[in-house]
Amino acid sequence: MERDNTTTRRFLEDAGIAPGMRVLEIGCGGGEVTEVLARLVGPAGAVAAIDRSEDMLANARDRLSQAGVDNVQLMTLDVTGDLTRLDQFERDSFDALTGRRVLMYLQDPVGALRRLCRWLREGGLVVFEETDLTMVPARKSPLPAHDQLADWLRKMLVAENANTTMGFDLPATFVSAGLSFEGIRAEAVIEGQGGQFAPSQLLRLVQARLISSGLTTEAEVEALAAELDHQSPDPTTVYVNGMSFCAWGTNPSQ
């Protein structure tokens, strides 16, 4: 299945990411959002993308080089730690601060935003897209294999201390960090309708985390992956397996 970042592109564009901007992205992972950002800001703009994982940054480097993107600077940095590496940039260097599925993994997202905003210019844009499990899975009738996957994913995130309600928490997080909150939208991710991963792909991607959280075994993962591959829901069945929230605001004038 083609990995689909059209929702993210729309969220970012609608929030105001535009040609010529200098953007700081946190938790860039394998660079999917970075690539979208790089294309939106274009050759007159630039993206500085940071992640704490060298492995993820190596994936991002490959992805961006294959895509022929050359307006991105990748950097290893834990946003909860010492941020002095960002001092290579002027304090008001960036027009926007952004990230996808990263605040939900921080124990103190308010503190992290406060500290990162030192590099955002006054009036600069803040845009975050986060997953939220409050309303998922949503379906008219149970789909046992899909429901099992959803249950494991929720339990895994809880075991990892991730915030599974980060979408609903975005506006209050912005305000507590001293930012203005301007708007929020959400989009349902519906099984079979161009989501980022097929269910069995997602399962295999998180297999090691599920097992290390003590939720399941390799044999059970294999069995569920086979079920997910062979029991695709009827095309007329609407199964909401994710909700993506995007909130935006600005760094107010001091």
Ligand X SMILES: C[S@@+](CC[C@H](N)C(=O)[O-])C[C@H]1O[C@@H](n2cnc3c(N)ncnc32)[C@H](O)[C@@H]1O
Give the one residue of 17, 27, 121, 242 binding ligand X; rule: CB under 6 A: 27
Cα(180)–Cα(126) distance, integer angstroms: 9
Using CB under 6 A as the binding rule, whether residue 201 contacts ligand X is answered as no
Question: How close are the terminal C-alpha atoms of the chain, in Å?
Answer: 47
Question: Directed axis angle between helix 32-41 and helix 54-66, to 10°?
Answer: 50
Question: Between 55 and 218, whose beta carbon lies closer to ligand X?
Answer: 55
Q: Which residue has the tokens 């938790």?
A: 27
Residue 96 · residue 127 · CB < 8 Å: yes
Rounded to the nearest whole angstrom, what is the least distance from the CB of residue 99 to ligand X in the complex? 6
> Both tokens of residue 47?
């993206």
Cβ 195 to ligand X shortest distance, Å: 13
Q: Is the Cβ of residue 4 or residue 229 nearer to ligand X in the bound state?
A: 4
Q: Which residues 103-122 are close enough to bind ligand X by CB under 6 A?
A: 105-106
Answer yes or no whether residue 28 interacts with ligand X by CB under 6 A: yes
Q: Which long-range contacts (CB under 8 A, 24 or more apart) does 59-68 make?
A: 59/29, 59/30, 59/31, 60/28, 60/29, 60/30, 60/31, 60/34, 61/31, 63/30, 63/31, 63/32, 63/34, 63/35, 64/31, 64/34, 64/35, 64/38, 67/35, 67/38
* Cβ closest to ligand X, residue 143 vs residue 202: 202
> Which string of x and - marks every residue 60-99 that binds ligand X (by CB under 6 A)?
------------------xxx------------------x
Q: How far is the CB of 27 from ligand X (least distance, A)?
A: 3
Among 35, 51, 132, 191, binds ligand X (CB under 6 A): 51
Contacting residue, 12, 21, 32, 128, with ligand X by CB under 6 A: 32
Q: Which is nearer to ligand X, 7 or 216 (CB)?
A: 7
Contact of 90 with 103, CB cutoff 8 Å: no
Binding of ligand X by 132 (CB under 6 A): no
Q: What single-letter amino acid sits at 43? A: P
Residues of the shown chain interacting with ligand X in the complex, contacts defined by CB under 6 A: 26-30, 32-33, 51-53, 56, 78-80, 99-102, 105-106
